[in-house]
Structure formats: C-alpha cells, structure tokens
Structure 1
Amino acid sequence: MELNGAQFREQWAGRVAFITGAATGIGLGVAQAFADAGMKLALSYRNEDDRAKAAAWFAEKGHEAPLWLKLDVTDRARFAAVADEVEAHFGAVHVLVNNAGVSVFGPTDEASYDDYDWIMGVNFGGVVNGIVSFLPKIKAADGRRHVTNVSSMAAFLPGPQAGIYTASKFAVRGLTESLRYNLAPHGIGCSLCCPALTRTNAWTSAMKRPDGFGESGFPDVPPEALEQFGTAFEEGMDPYEVGAKILRGMTQQDGLILTHPEHGPDFEEAHEKIMAALPVEEAPAGRLHIEELRRKAMRDAEAGLVIRLDDLT
C-alpha cells in the first residue's frame, strides 16, 4: 500500500508526533507514513544499529531528521524526561503513538511472576507511561491532536500460547476505548489499532529478555523452533501499510483501526458465541434504565461532553 501523503498533509503537516519502538517494525512503518504526510517526528529506540538503519531511510527520502530518544518504556523517570525533551525541542506535542511491545509466548499455567511482570510491564505499563507522561503536553497544545495505542488482534482473539500477551493487549484495548471518551471533550482524537500478522522481527522478543526478569516459568524453546516460528512473519503485512492505515484511521477519527481483512470469520464466530451466551429472559425495568443511562453517557462523551458519576444514575 503506497500512501499518498498529500491527501493527509492539510491536517497533519507540521504536527509533532512521538512514537515508541520506532526503529523497527510497525513503529518504523508508522514513522515513515507520518513523515510522508509532513509530520515532525520524535522517535524512541533501544538498539543503536536499528536506529542507524532507520535514520538512513529518512535521509534518503529527504525528510527532516527525527529526534531520536533512547527509551525503555518501563522506565517512568526516563519517559517523563523524554516528554520534556520532545517539548523543549519542538515547542509542542500533538500526537502520541504507543507502539513498543514484546511478543513472548508460553503456556500460561506455567508462567512465573517474572513472566507476568515483564510482558505486562512493557505491553500495558509502557502504554500507561506514555499516556501519563505525554497527555498533559498534548492537552496544552492546540489544533489537530491524537493518541493512538497499538494493541494487537490478540486484543480480541486469545490463544493457548499467548495468555499473558493476550491479557496485556486486552488491557490496552479496554484502556483505549475508555480513554477515547475522556479525550473527546478536549478535542483530542483517540484510536485503538489492532494489527495482525506483520512483517517484523517481533518473534525475537524472547531472545531479549532483560536480566531483571530471569525466572521464567515457560519451557525453553530451541533456537531452531523459534526461527521456524519466525518464518510466519515473512507472510505478514508490510509495516508501512500498517502505518498508512493508522494515519488514515486517525484522519477519519476512527476509534478502532483494524488493518488486516482476514479476521472476519473470527469476529463472526465470537459474535455468535456472545449472543448465544446471553440469558433468554426479561430484565427488570430498573436495570434496563441504568443501562440506557450508560449508553447515553457513552454517546454524550463521544460527542465531547464531560461525563460524571451522577450521569450514570
């Protein structure tokens, strides 16, 4: 998918975006699509070689060099410092894309505390840290602004080898869908993106386990088995296409951005199971009234009204 950057420049040119995990994979694809739309970029990275390779793309395209910031998204103090650096460099921050994550799998019934702390700390905690660090600065800016949290199709589709990973992505989904209602009164858009198989090196996450999370309950996976698993990613979508679809979804103010078309059967099956699980019986009038108030509050919040507790009763 080639992005016609010109169609987005009117709304996004000159906007300042901060993207986590932007030296490779989906994060880099998002950064490239944003650059083609004329946005100014601040990008976080972990590996110097990855940063150098990514920087070369922007130079070859003639784009303004991004502001590169080394960041472990679980480091709250560093995240706060990065937010200040971005604001000091550009003067304002308009867009936040929480993308950084780890793809680590194993049987959930054998997981250790360290497995939970590492995966949840990066995949959910990193999003929380981005929101807490950057939202005050985005609220203080004006014009077109947006927050996009990159989750995964795992936010909808659990699997036997992805329990903690799935939990982290479900958590990002729930947080983002609620945050959208809070940001609407400030004129800030908010999107949840749930990509599926993408041509990245995400499968190598298990090889990069930090020393502080050494006690894994997952059985060891031979390198050759992990490499075989990695071959599936070669069939994945190009990261730039994911980035272009994210930019299009942001422009359209889509709350949910789904990038891969192949999951229709999964959603149909999930819908059928949910509807079949509902009891076939009358609900009392009082409960029906409360649920109608909830639905009205959601519509009002999306329209930009501030919702308080007394609006729900």
Structure 2
Amino acid sequence: MGETQDWRGKVAFVTGGVSGIGFGIARAFSDAGMRLALSYRDEERRATAARWFAERGREAPLFVPLDVTDRTRFAAVAQEIDAAFGRLDVLVNNAGVSVFGPTDEASHADYDWIMGVNFGGVANGLVALLPLVKRTGAGGHVVNVASMAAYLSGPQAGIYTASKFAVRGLTESLRYNLAPHGINCALVCPALTRTEAWGSALKRPDAFGDSGFAPADRATLEQFGTAFEAGMDPLEVGEKVLAGMSRGDALILTHPEFAEDFREIYETSIAALPDEPAPEARLAIERLRREAARAALAGKTIGLENLT
C-alpha cells in the first residue's frame, strides 16, 4: 500500500470517536473523504462533533451510542453499520479510560473496570465487527489504539499499562491472522496528547465503585491534567494514524520523543539473555516459528502443524 491510497468513500468506524484522539482520527478520516460511524457516550460531545461536520458541509457520521463493555449493544451496532453502509473498510478500536493508582492497592473492581474497557472493549469490537470487515474484503484495516504505555511502565499506571500491553500483544498476533485476508492490522501507540483523558477517574461507573485507590480528587486530577496541555493536537495524531495506514504499517508511533526509552528496553533485554549456547533442537523450533510468522505475513494461513 502506498501513501497515495485513495480513501474516498471508504467506511470507517471509530469507537470513542467524538472526543480526544478518537475525534482527531475521525477528522483526519473525514478530510481524506471517508464515510464515518462514530460511537459516543456523552450527548454534548456528540452534538459538538456533529457541528464540526455540518460546518464543513461534510456527510454526517452515523452516531451510535455505545458502552464498549456492552457486548449485546456492540452486536447491535454492527448490524446498524451494516444496514447504513453495507460494508466496513476500517475498524478503529480507540475507546479507553486513563485511570491511575498504586497497583499494590488495587481492588478487583479496579482491575475489572480498567481491563474491561481498555482490553475488553477492543476484544468486543473485534468479535462484533471483524466479520463485516472480512466480508468487505481485501484492502481493509483494523487499527487498535493502545498507548506508549504498551512499552513503558510506571509506578502509578500498573493496570492501565497491563491493558495496553495486552492490546499490543493481541494486535501483533492478530496481524498474522488477518494478512491472508488482505486486511492490514496496526497498533497505534500515542503519547501525551491534548485531551481530557486525565478526568477518566471522575466518571467511574457505580458498578466498579469499590476501588482500592484513594478517592478521585478533582483538584489533583486537574493539576495532573495541566501536563496534557503540552500534548500533541489530536488531529495531528489522527493524520499520523492515517499516514501509517496508507503505508500499511504494523506499528504507528505518533510521538518522536522515546528513542532513549526504546534503546534502554533493547539493551536491557539483550543483556538479560543468558550468555550460553542453545541446543540445536530448540533453535530449530524457533526457526520454524520465525518462518511461520513470515509466511503468515506473506498471506499463508498458519496452523499448529506449521510450528513443529
């Protein structure tokens, strides 16, 4: 795929598409001529997004109310998109929550909420919408939005980080499954972006109220939110996502400031490998694994029989 790919008339669905990074992606897609379905939870944000399209004379997106943890509703959304457009070329699993606290104090409710939205929401999107993307055919795209937390950990982001590591692993594996269908699969890892993601903890559902973290304090969160003012414009993030899709990238990194971190990850990982020879039988198995991965990306469907 080249960067001159014609996106006009393609249909995309973006979860959490009326604010933050999701809205940045939606605007970039609209600028490229795509038709859109966008999920939302807040009516005021939906109305603001709708005005953006109307003011520019763009086709109004199909706005669908959706809690990404609601599998029944997700299945209904898939039917609504099919009924409205008859196809789905691009699925962007973007919706998430940014909730932080010391992992050693986390409760079951903390795990269930954060993992349920950030990882479960992606899984639910795939189960509900992949059949329509596959039916639409070769040339489609699945884009899972994670975070630089898919690579970088920290003392206040344990469950959040776990959810993003999970999305990374899922996406990298799914790429092998979708390649034989001619469908690209990309992992997006944004970093600091000018959004209101810092306020997620203030929107905690009652069902997950039994938190092990200290109660959310608005003043503390607003102070934390000042860091986001230095973030990248969400539209720029969206434009970089679209450029990466046009190239057929597997990994789309939108922010340039992490060379030091990746160098440390690489050097630490290499240094941790035992300095000793490996038996030929194990080396042979790993060669088969690498060959199977390359074959999958070249379009071959891989089964367990290809790994031994």
Q: TM-score, normalised by structure 1?
A: 0.96
Match of 1:298 in 2: 293
- Structure 2: state its 5+ residue gaps: none
Tell me how far apart the structure 2 counterparts of residues 309 and 202 of structure 1 sit (CA, whole Å): 41
Asked if the contact 1:30/1:239 (under 8 Å) is kept, the reply is yes
Where do residues 19-98 of structure 1 align in structure 2 (5 Å cutoff)? Answer: 19-98=14-93
Q: Which amino acid aligns with 1:310?
A: E
Per-residue CA distance 1:163-191 (angstroms, 9 max, x = gap): 00000000000000000000000010100
Deviates more, 1:96-105 or 1:56-65: 56-65
- CA offset at residue 219 of structure 1? 1.3
In 1: Cα distance, 2:305 partner to 2:24 partner: 43
Q: Counterpart in 1 of 2:203?
A: 208
Deviation at 1:10, TM superposition (A): 4.7
Which of the residues 260, 278, 283 maps onto 1:283?
278
Output one character per residue of 1:50-73: Cα deviation in whole Å (capped at 9) or x when no partner. 000111111112211000000000
Q: Write the distance in 1 (CA, Å) between the matches of 2:203 and 2:216.
A: 14
Alpha-carbon shift at residue 12 of structure 1 (Å): 1.2
Paired amino acid for 2:272: A
Contact 1:12–1:144, Cα closer than 8 Å, also in 2: no
Alignment length (residue pairs): 307
- Structure 1: segments with no counterpart, 5+ residues: 1-6
1:150-299 map, 5 Å: 150-299=145-294
Q: SS at the partner of 1:126? A: helix
What secondary structure, in the 3-state scheme, does the structure 2 residue paired with 1:27 have?
Answer: helix
- Given that residues 8 and 37 in structure 1 are in contact (C-alpha distance below 8 angstroms), is that contact kept between their aligned partners in structure 2? no
Q: How does 1:113-152 map to 2 (within 5 A)?
A: 113-152=108-147
CA distance in 2, matches of 1:130, 1:154: 21
Q: Deviations over 1:243-291 (max 9, x none)?
A: 0111111111100000000011000011111011010000000000000
Deviation string 1:4-23 (CA, Å, 9 cap, x unpaired) is xxx96752111110000011
Contact 2:202 2:216 in 1 (8 A): no
The 1-side partners of 2:235 and 2:291 are apart by: 38
Alignment CA distance shift 1:135-1:126 (3 Å): same
- Letter matched to residue 252 of structure 2: I
